[in-house]
Chains A and B, each alone.
Chain A
Amino acid sequence: MAAVQWHSRARRYESELQSCGLEVAPVEFSDYHPLKSITVTDSKSRRGARKGSTSSSSSSSSSVAPDPLSSMLDGTDPLSMFAAASASESPPTLSQSRKRREKEDEVGVDFEPWSSKRGEILARFTTTEKLSINLFMGSEKGKAPSLASSAVSEKVRTRLEELDDLEEGSQRELLNLSQQDYVNRIEELNQSLKEAWASDQKVKALKIVIQCSKLLSDTAVIQFYPSKFVLITDILDTFGRLVYERIWSMCSDPRPLPDSFTADEVNDTAKETCLNWFFKIASIRELIPRLYVEVALLKCNRFLTKCGIQETVPRLTAMIRGIGDPLVAVYARAYLCRIGMEVAPHLKDSLNKNFFDLLGTFRQIHGDSVQNQLVLQRVEIPVYLTLYSPAIHWILQCVSYRAPEDYINCAEIWVEFTCRHFTKREVNTVLSDIIKHMTPDRAFEDAYPQLQSVIRKILTYFHDFSVLFSMERFLPFMDMFQKDSVRVGVCLSIMDVFIKHQQEPTRDPVILNALLHVCKTMHDSVNALTLEDEKRSLALLINGFIRMVSFGRDFEQQLSFCVEARATFCNLEPVLVQLIHTVNQLAMETRRVMRGSHSRKTAAFVRACAAYSFITIPSLTSIFSRLNLYLLSGQVALANQCLSQADAFLKAAVSVLPEVPRSISIEGKLRSSEGFLLDFINNFLSALLVVPDHPEAGVLFLVRGLLNMVQDYTWEDNSDAKVHVYISALPLLAAMSQESYLYSIPKVDSNETLYGGDPKFLAEINKLCETLIGQVLDHLKTLGRDESIHRQGSLAFSLFGCLLAHGDLRNNKLNQLAVNLWNLSHKQGYCNTRTSVRTLEFIKHQAQQPDMVHLSDVLHRLTLQSRT
Chain B
Amino acid sequence: MSASLDIRLKRANKVYHEGEVLAGVVAIVSKEAVQHQGITLTMEGIVNLQLSSKSVGVFEAFYNSVKPIQLITSNIEVVKQGKVPGGKTEIPFEFPLHTKGNKVLYETYHGVFVNIQYTLRCDMKRSLLAKDLSKTCEFMVHCLPQKAKLQPTPVDFTITPETLQNVRERSLLPKFLIRGHLDATNCVITKPLTGELVVESSDVAIKSIELQLVRVETCGCAEGYARDATEIQNIQIAEGDVCHSLPIPIYMVFPRLFTCPTLETINFKVGEFTCNKYKSNSATVCGLPMADRCDSLFLCRV
Contact = CB atoms under 8 A, between A and B. Distances in A.
Nearest to B252: A282
A416 B58 CA distance: 81
B84 interface: no
A152 B209 contact: no
Contacts of A315: 249, 251
B255 interface: yes
Nearest to A267: B12
B230 A271 contact: no
B243 interface: yes
Interface string A352-374: 00000000110110011100000
Interface string B211-249: 010100000000000001111111111111111001111
Nearest to B238: A322
A315 B238 CA distance: 14
Candidate in B12, B54, B256 with the most chain A CB atoms within 10 angstroms? B12
Contact of A160 (B166, B233, B248, B289): B233
Given A153-B112, A282-B253, A321 B247 contact: yes
Contacts of A290: 235-236
A153 B112 CA distance: 7
Given A160-B233, A272-B13, A360-B246, A323 B239 contact: yes
A147 B294 CA distance: 13
B205 interface: yes
Tell me which of A156, A217, A286, A315 has the highest count of chain B C-beta atoms within 10 A of its own C-beta.
A156
B22 interface: no
Given A279-B256, A286-B236, A322-B209, A269 B242 contact: no
A288 B231 contact: no
A147 B276 contact: yes
A151 B251 contact: no
Interface in B55-77: none
B173 interface: no
A160 B246 contact: no
B228 A324 contact: no
B229 A150 contact: yes
A146 interface: yes
B231 A319 contact: no
A369 B240 contact: yes
Contact of B240 (A150, A325, A360): A325
A323 B234 CA distance: 17
B54 A151 contact: yes
Nearest to B282: A369
A328 interface: yes
Contacts of B170: none
A150 B52 CA distance: 12
Contact of B13 (A147, A153, A268): A268
A321 B214 contact: no
Interface in B192-206: 205-206
A369 B289 CA distance: 19
Nearest to B206: A324
Nearest to B291: A147
B2 to A, nearest CB: 25
Contacts of A144: 234
B231 A286 contact: no
Given A153-B112, A324-B242, A146 B231 contact: yes
A149 interface: yes
A283 interface: yes
Contacts of A85: none
Given A268-B13, A318-B249, A368-B205, A324 B231 contact: no
A367 B242 CA distance: 10
A156 B255 contact: no
A321 B209 CA distance: 12
A306 interface: no
B293 interface: yes
A110 to B, nearest CB: 34
B259 to A, nearest CB: 11
Nearest to A153: B112
A417 B54 CA distance: 74
Contacts of B256: 279
A710 B131 CA distance: 122
Interface string A714-744: 0000000000000000000000000000000
Contact of B249 (A267, A268, A322): A322
B243 A319 contact: no
Contacts of A269: 12
Interface in A312-368: 315, 318-319, 321-325, 328, 360-361, 363-364, 367-368
B208 to A, nearest CB: 8
A62 B112 CA distance: 91
B54 to A, nearest CB: 6
A323 B232 contact: no
B262 interface: no
Contacts of A24: none
Nearest to A145: B289
A279 B229 contact: no
A288 B293 CA distance: 24
B160 interface: no
B11 interface: yes
A151 B52 contact: yes
Contacts of B278: 145
Interface in B5-22: 11-13
B233 A148 contact: no
B35 interface: no
Interface in B136-195: 166
B234 A160 contact: yes
Contact of A147 (B231, B235, B239, B255): B231
A516 B12 CA distance: 72
Contact of A285 (B209, B234, B289): B234
A287 B236 contact: yes
A283 B255 contact: yes
B30 interface: no
A145 B214 CA distance: 14
Nearest to A314: B249
Nearest to A147: B291
Contacts of A271: 12
A155 interface: yes
B34 to A, nearest CB: 28
A360 B54 contact: no
Interface string B287-298: 001010100000
A279 B240 contact: no
B280 interface: yes
A323 B249 CA distance: 11
Nearest to A161: B234
B11 A268 contact: yes
A324 B253 contact: no
Contacts of B249: 315, 318-319, 321-322
Nearest to B13: A272
A267 B11 CA distance: 11
Nearest to B55: A151
Contacts of B205: 324, 368-369
A120 to B, nearest CB: 28
Given A321-B242, A364-B243, A153 B230 contact: yes
Contacts of B251: 315, 319
Given A147-B291, A323-B242, A368-B205, A152 B248 contact: no
Given A145-B280, A160-B233, A322 B291 contact: no
Interface of B: 11-13, 52, 54, 112, 166, 205-206, 209, 212, 214, 228-243, 246-249, 251-253, 255-256, 258, 276, 278, 280, 289, 291, 293
Given A156-B231, A267-B12, A324-B243, 8 more contacts: A147-B231, A147-B276, A160-B233, A287-B239, A321-B246, A321-B248, A322-B237, A325-B241
22 contacts: A145-B280, A155-B112, A156-B258, A268-B12, A269-B12, A271-B12, A285-B236, A286-B236, A287-B237, A319-B251, A321-B246, A321-B249, A322-B239, A323-B239, A324-B206, A324-B239, A324-B240, A324-B241, A328-B240, A364-B243, A367-B241, A369-B240
Nearest 4 A-B pairs (CB), nearest first?
A: A324-B240, A268-B12, A282-B253, A322-B238
